[in-house]
Amino acid sequence: MGKLNYTNRKVEGLKLGQVIHKDLIKRIPPEAGSKAALRDPYIELHASGKRLGDEGLLAVVEGLRKALSCRDGPVTSRLEELGLSGNELTASSMRHLGGVIKLAADDLKDVDLSCNQITVATDEQATAWESFLRSFRKSSVLRRLDLSGNALGSRAFEILARVYTREAPLDMSEVTPAEDEGGLQNGMEASLSPTSPHAPVANPERYAVTRGIRSIPYIVLSDVAMTDTCALHLSVVLARHHLLRDLLARVPSAKTGLAAQHLDVYDAHSGCQGIVYLPNDTLGGAGMRVLELAEVRREELLEGDYPETAKSPSKRAHSLRASSDSSTTSAVFRGPRQRQSAEQPTSTGELERVRSKIQGNTLKERGARHVELWATALRLLVSARAILLAPKPPPVLVVMPQRDISSRPRQSVAKAQPSVAARAAPHRPRARGNLPHGVWHGILALAVDPSGILRGDQQAAVLAWAGDRATLAREAEVVGKPAGVQIWRVLEGVGCLSYDERGV
């Protein structure tokens, strides 16, 4: 009863969605299938290549919501696997799917959305996509999220970077090295019932300490029409994502079957460490390089806390490129220090140089509007400068009587001198409307950036730049240079080139 596989059914489209909906409703007491569902409440739903479309998916989602949210008596439905590859799904339906992911946060282990039509270009699509990504915030046992074969677009990668960096860092100290070596998996296997492959894992609270997109061992982004700008955003995620071995120790091991086979393929042939971004034939040289350097940076960042796991099952530079063209590439463990050679420098400086190159090219070719972070920062700067950078006050004029030779009084004008107390006291002029700067900061942030595209410290940096006359001189230094260079300098000055903190 738990395996709902519709791949070989002749019916497809909306009609199949309605069939799946009915089958899920049968699991809810007192329906006919509820007794069998009670014995095996775990659901593996697979409907690959059935052309469900957004309308058919909505029917499936409604059935899953009803089944998963039913709490009258014993639980009869727990969603473990969701295979919806090749169903012509678009970004618009991702918002609905997010509700199911939230309901299955403690059970869902595999999500396959590969080979659909998920593209993020419009504001509506962006909102749905961000809602979908945020729905993983409570997921604790998810092994794989497969988004391959979708032309996601650079905006999708930017939102991924934003959502990822806003999640709290994982607490990896909850599992001891002994458990990393297989203690969790061994405990899970020992707890399985001989009659059910879905028995609860041992010590489930250990898995609950790592949640969210950061905790997913395999995020598959191959064949997604990745550009250099996409890679720029992904490098922020890649540099922070914990190593595969550490993350796998914090989710139940995969059962023998299709899901396990997929993981074996990633390990053996992708040349990537958890975040699978190869192959991507549209990726340029700079994009490839920034991802290679982000992989190295990840190992350097994690080496201090987890020196025994700061290894990468891949050959960097030429080896990563070769892995996208060859199915025989094997995983090779090499530490970051071993790769520090003339062929493969690993400094943070080089990563930032390549990032800067991609940022400059993007500004030159597509403009600041192509990246929502940049566009928002510039809009906030322009608005804030009009409010906060008040013009210099004119000198205070005082009329003083004078006498000329004919003794007739004359008028002279002199500048008033401030008192000693006024000169000693620090003074910050109020902005327009005689409101304090702090009040204007809140107003501007809500008016220009209501969705919180910028982090709080980035908003503060933009507002400080806007209200400081010294920044006008800094901007004047690059006047006459290409517009992209001028914009880059401003964005660099306010720390709004990336969603990542500086130096990471």
**Dihedrals phi, psi of 484, to nearest 5 degrees:** -60, -40
Residue 389: which of 427, 423, 437 has the closest Cα? 437
Percent of the chain with pLDDT over 90: 59
- Kindly state the average pLDDT of the residues 262-287: 86
Peptide bond connecting 279 to the previous residue in cis, omega within 30 degrees of 0: yes
- What is the predicted pLDDT for the residue at 2? 72
- What is the predicted pLDDT for the residue at 305? 52
Q: Which residue has the higher pLDDT, 145 or 420?
A: 145
The pLDDT-based confidence of 131 (bands split at 50, 70, 90) is very high
- What is the predicted pLDDT for the residue at 4? 93
Q: Give yes or no for residue 158 having a pLDDT over 70.
A: yes
- What is the predicted pLDDT for the residue at 430? 56
- Kindly state the average pLDDT of the residues 433-453: 88
- What is the predicted pLDDT for the residue at 73? 62
pTM of the shown model: 0.82
- What is the predicted pLDDT for the residue at 116? 98
3-state secondary structure of 220: strand
- What is the predicted pLDDT for the residue at 429? 56
- Kindly state the average pLDDT of the residues 395-418: 52
The pLDDT-based confidence of 27 (bands split at 50, 70, 90) is confident
Q: List pLDDT tens digits, range 445-470.
A: 999 999 999 999 999 999 999 999 99
Using an 8 Å Cβ cutoff, are 81 and 44 in contact?
Answer: yes
Q: Which residue has the higher pLDDT, 185 or 252?
A: 252
108-122, 291-305, 453-467: range with lowest mean pLDDT = 291-305
Mean pLDDT of the residues in the chain? 81
- Kindly state the average pLDDT of the residues 314-332: 38
Using an 8 Å Cβ cutoff, are 344 and 316 in contact?
Answer: yes
Nearest-angstrom CA–CA distance, 497 and 371: 9
Q: Helix H segments across 70-153? A: 94-103, 123-134
Residue 141: which of 41, 218, 84, 238 has the closest Cα? 218
> Which amino acid does the sequence have at 276?
V
Q: Which residue has the higher pLDDT, 187 or 420?
A: 420
Nearest-angstrom CA–CA distance, 413 and 270: 80
Provide the greatest CA pair distance for the chain.
120
Percent of the chain with pLDDT over 70: 72
Strand partners, 145: 111, 219
- What is the predicted pLDDT for the residue at 163? 97
- What is the predicted pLDDT for the residue at 348? 81
- What is the predicted pLDDT for the residue at 29? 80
Q: Give yes or no for residue 281 having a pLDDT over 60.
A: yes
- What is the predicted pLDDT for the residue at 91? 97
**Dihedrals phi, psi of 112, to nearest 5 degrees:** -115, 110
Q: List pLDDT tens digits, range 338-379.
A: 333 334 445 589 999 999 999 999 999 999 999 999 999 999
Nearest-angstrom CA–CA distance, 359 and 367: 10
**Dihedrals phi, psi of 110, to nearest 5 degrees:** -150, 130
Q: Which two tokens stand for residue 424?
A: 């000693």
The pLDDT-based confidence of 64 (bands split at 50, 70, 90) is very high
5-9, 311-315, 326-330, 463-467: range with lowest mean pLDDT = 326-330
